[in-house]
Amino acid sequence: MLLKNLTQINGVSGNEEKVREFIKKEIENVADEIKVDKVGNLIAYKKGTASKFKLLLSAHMDEVGFIVTGHSEDGLIKFRPVGGIDQRVLPGKRVVVGDKGLKGVIGCKPIHLQEKDERDKNIKIKSMYIDIGCDKRDEAEKLAGLGEYIAFDSKFTELGSDCIKAKALDDRVGCAIIMELLKQRYEFDLYASFTVQEEIGLRGSEVVGYQINPDIAIVIEGTTCSDVPGIKEHEYSTELGKGPVITVMDRTAYADKDVVNFIYDTARKYKIDVQFKKTTTGGNDAGKIQRSRCGVKVASISVPCRYIHSPSSVMSRKDYEGCIKLMEAVLKELENNTDYTLKILNGGNCNV
Q: 231 and 331: one domain?
A: yes
pLDDT at residue number 52: 79
Q: 226 and 308: one domain?
A: yes
Among candidate residues 123, 152, 181, the one where a domain is terminated: 152
Does any domain span residue 158? no
- Name the pairing type of β-strands 54-60 and 189-195: parallel
pLDDT at residue number 118: 60
Q: 145 and 45: one domain?
A: no
Contact 214, 292 (CB under 8 A): no
Residue 337, pLDDT above cutoff 80 = no
pLDDT at residue number 352: 46
Greater model confidence, 277 or 51 = 277
Inter-axis angle of helices 257-269 and 338-346, nearest 10: 160
Quick check: helix, strand or coil at residue 222? strand
DSSP state of 131: E
Q: 252 and 116: one domain?
A: no
Dump pLDDT digits (tens) for 20-38.
999 999 999 999 999 999 9
Instruction: Give alpha helix (H) positions in 99-243.
Output: 116-119, 137-143, 169-181, 203-212
Q: Which residues contact 164 (CB under 8 A, 6 or more apart)?
A: 3, 156, 157, 158, 314, 315, 316, 317, 320
Distance CA 350, CA 101 (A): 54
Average of pLDDT values for 62-86? Answer: 95
pLDDT at residue number 282: 84
Q: 25 and 39: one domain?
A: yes
Give 351's pLDDT tier (boundaries 50, 70, 90).
very low
Lowest mean pLDDT among 42-46, 110-114, 158-162: 110-114
Among candidate residues 100, 120, 152, the one where a domain is terminated: 152
Q: 174 and 212: one domain?
A: yes
Q: 189 and 316: one domain?
A: yes
Which helix (H) or strand (E) is 298 found in, with range?
A: strand 297-306
Q: What percentage of the chain reaches a pLDDT higher than 70? A: 95
Residue 256, pLDDT above cutoff 50 = yes
Q: 53 and 144: one domain?
A: no
Quote the domain boundaries for residue 79: 68-152
pLDDT at residue number 343: 72
- Of 151, 166, 152, 106, which Cα lies nearest the Cα of 312? 166
pLDDT at residue number 307: 93
- Of 317, 322, 302, 276, which Cα lies nearest the Cα of 60? 302
- The CATH number of whichever domain residue 200 belongs to comes to 3.40.630.10
Dump pLDDT digits (tens) for 122-147.
788 888 999 999 999 999 999 999 99
Q: What is the DSSP string of 230-259?
A: TS-GGG-S--TTS--EE-SB-SS-B--HHH
Distance CA 256, CA 249 (A): 9
Total structural domains within the chain: 2
Q: 49 and 141: one domain?
A: no
Among candidate residues 103, 120, 152, the one where a domain is terminated: 152
- Of 253, 254, 222, which Cα lies nearest the Cα of 240? 222
Does any domain span residue 352? no
Distance CA 211, CA 221 (A): 21
In this structure, what is the dihedral angle of CA atoms 173, 244, 161, 172, given to the nearest 10 degrees?
0
> Could you give the residue numbers annotated as active site?
198
Distance CA 163, CA 318 (A): 8
Lowest mean pLDDT among 14-23, 144-153, 228-237, 339-348: 339-348
Does any domain span residue 159? no
Distance CA 158, CA 161 (A): 8
Beta bridge partners of 163: 159, 316
- Of 178, 173, 170, which Cα lies nearest the Cα of 45? 178
